[in-house]
Amino acid sequence: MQSNLDPGLNQHKYTPETSSLDVGALYNRYKNYAFSIAYRMLGTVTEAEDIVQDCFTGLHSMPKPDIHNPKSYIAKLIVNRCLNLLNSARNQREHYVGEWLPEPLGMHDMTNTPEEMMQQKEMISYAYLVMLERLSPMERAVFVLREAFEHDYSEIAGWLGKTESNCRQIYSRARRNLPEVLPVIEQVYADWKAKEEVLSRFTMAFLQHDVQPCWSCLLTRLYSRRMGAA
């Protein structure tokens, strides 16, 4: 399985003299990636934003680090901060009466470019976040990094301080804990993608004052709703 890491970054070395000067550029390039990891692991927008802010603020205040692979380095910082928060939150929730539910991500929090949408897939379903609550913090970290971002086990092991074998076992255990839920999640995402395609075609036709495609999209949506009701 291929990693999401940019191939060119593996050869480019950020030296101590330049790395601190590039924090702003790193933030602009990887803030959405960092938020995507944090949100999947934590399930709340506010906590995910705080983790990302804390991560890049920490980079500014650190002694100039020698970063060989900035995306991998940022992922490690985000994942470990999330694990610390999850372990703390899990202890607090043991004393909470009632079921904890994650915070849905609103459309206003979404990025707009197709590239960023493809990278983040931030319209993950509410059920997905509820599902992840069934996993331990470590299981969640391995599952998210492997399932959502397709990172190699060697990368995940390095970030989490585990062996590759350990990470494979953790991932397998997480998959076993979620077998009946995963097909539902995959169908929800497929349904969302289909609706997004219809909406995109309708919006484009509407802006171009092209009536026929607008009617076609509306009829497609109406047919889908009737079939769903049936």
Segment 99-134, tens digit of pLDDT: 445 555 554 344 444 444 444 444 445 556 667 777
Q: What is the pLDDT of residue 7?
A: 32
CATH number of the domain that residue 27 is part of: 1.20.140.160
Last residue of a domain, one of 138, 162, 178: 178
Distance, C-alpha 170 to centroid of its chain: 19
pTM check: above 0.75: no
Are residue 146 and residue 218 in the same domain, yes or no? no
Are residue 14 and residue 120 in the same domain, yes or no? yes
Are residue 133 and residue 158 in the same domain, yes or no? yes
Are residue 217 and residue 139 in the same domain, yes or no? no
In percent, the amount of the chain with pLDDT more than 90 equals 27
Are residue 78 and residue 145 in the same domain, yes or no? yes
Are residue 160 and residue 195 in the same domain, yes or no? no
Helical pair 182-207 and 211-229, crossing angle rounded to 10 deg: 150
Q: Per-residue pLDDT tens for 167-211?
A: 999 999 998 877 665 566 566 556 666 666 766 766 776 666 766
User: Cα-flanking dihedrals φ and ψ of residue 179, to 5°?
Assistant: -60, -40
Are residue 17 and residue 66 in the same domain, yes or no? yes
Model confidence at 70, pLDDT cuts 50, 70, 90, reads confident
DSSP per position, 51-120: HHHHHHHHHHHSS---BS-HHHHHHHHHHHHHHHHHHHHHHHHTT--S---PPPPPGGGS--SHHHHHHH
Three-class SS state of 45? helix
Last residue of a domain, one of 157, 178, 199: 178
Are residue 140 and residue 174 in the same domain, yes or no? yes
Are residue 112 and residue 37 in the same domain, yes or no? yes
Q: Domain for residue 2, yes or no?
A: no
Range of the domain at 212: 180-230
Q: What is the pLDDT of residue 61?
A: 75
